[in-house]
Structure 1
């Protein structure tokens, strides 16, 4: 870079990660995977694989597939929640009974796989596959496992939704993701519950604290176009993490109903997993409200919805599905009649437009 960004935190991010542009494609289970990550990497970004719903062998397989399709920095993302004993779902299933009756189904006979926390088996897979970056949601894993990740050579990212969480992460991770309440999907809070802060305010607070130790901060949430990227970089973020913007791409694996709804009102809800997450309103949210105390804690609430989701999605409906999306979803919507943009082209275009706004020559 030869323009203003040459002396900004962006440069540090690019040097440390090997990315060509200051963008991380957010890991989004159910919405992205190998094709999306590989395309983002080809566009110069950090590509990400969501691993919380994969087995260790599936992680190995998907990493190999991304490596075969692209050459650049790959991030593996894991959750650090605590499962505990299964909760009593009696009240939750009773609340859902009218929907079971309407759709002619019931709770699943065999519970589907749950999102699982990072463990020794996953750590061994990381050590074997050696991704450039490993990121964690809902805090960090056991210190012994974290030490092993560090010894593998991976850059470690931690997610903070408040300044207190960022302060807790400092010294334990290499970079902090400042996740504002505008972000789609699960809020990664882990210290004192969900205390939402906007992306720009949170990013700037963390940057000021991090100035003393020269660590790039990654802004995430509500950034859906080049203007948003440029604004975050002007706040001295080293990069942005984009999730919802990539939902519009051709490689996103979301349903037609989900894609059609992008840009409609999003709310924070606990109905689909038990954890607070931002998604688009649908029939279930409208019927019982976005947050309900009967929903079992994360990640157990999702099991009782399995059959409801199956029959509705087969009918082209997203009535019981998590339609995760951030508040800036409308910004990336293609023009009427235009096909979805490929993730590589999307990455290159957003970076080029953001650089131009900042007077930068890549």
Structure 2
């Protein structure tokens, strides 16, 4: 599948290419901490100043309201230019929180938060998963007791990316006493500077602290920070996850084709048939992911679960690509280089955003119509 580009779209492509070629930073982003936040927000600030931030957001909220076809062109040029990964500390704000607020937030919430997200003033993290409530998100136990005009929050979240440097968190909690599963939850904007919040970074196998666990001890959050209605958090959360699984990772999916070409160049002209066959297979799979991305983004009418197909295929292919890189590098893969870092990071791909097993269940039950998996 390929885009049938109009003259206007071709002009947009060349404009985007020219801007990216003259503005993409040459240095690799810092891996973690305050330095990574400064780099990411500076890059987002440059995008915003150049008119390239919030391209898919409606114009009424500061975005450009680009069509899906034009957005694909932007991301094709973005990855071609080797621009900084979109999976940095601005990811949740731009791809989760912002779109969720646009769809479900109050006028006051939109007016305050959306401009700060677009120009990089506000970093967000996600507070969904808990120990024992990751894939089975509906079993979460962190509570928010209604007390006057506040929620008093107690509990724990885990795997909250960039929580140590974020100002806000999209927080999913149980607010209706005695409720179970999907009922009685609320999606809340949590100011990470509130008293009672403790953040403990978690170092991953790549040696960096992207993740954190967050503890809440009688944290008082105003009821005005509830998004989408009190006790209606599951519907709001599904809106958030819909963005995550459908379009949020578009650049990452398209980037796989670029990574394959880098691997082919790195492998060189040595006559290693096994490596050559692997690279040919991976190139074909990356092209298939690209076609699936096009289909998911451009398909009309939208289908709610196609994102799981792309998410699963992308996650497993990303791991295979980085394993191939380790094989090609040989002993050099044991050094602290970018491919080694990305290889170790790739192990999280089949866990983050819903595990591979969860994605297969969604595909089997919601797309193929197979019987539901037995619940314990």
Tell me: higher relative CO, structure 1 or 2? Use CA pairs within 8 A at least 6 residues apart: 1
TM-score by length of 2: 0.26
Larger radius of gyration: 2
Q: Which has the higher helix share?
A: 2
What TM-score, normalized by structure 1, do the two folds share? 0.27
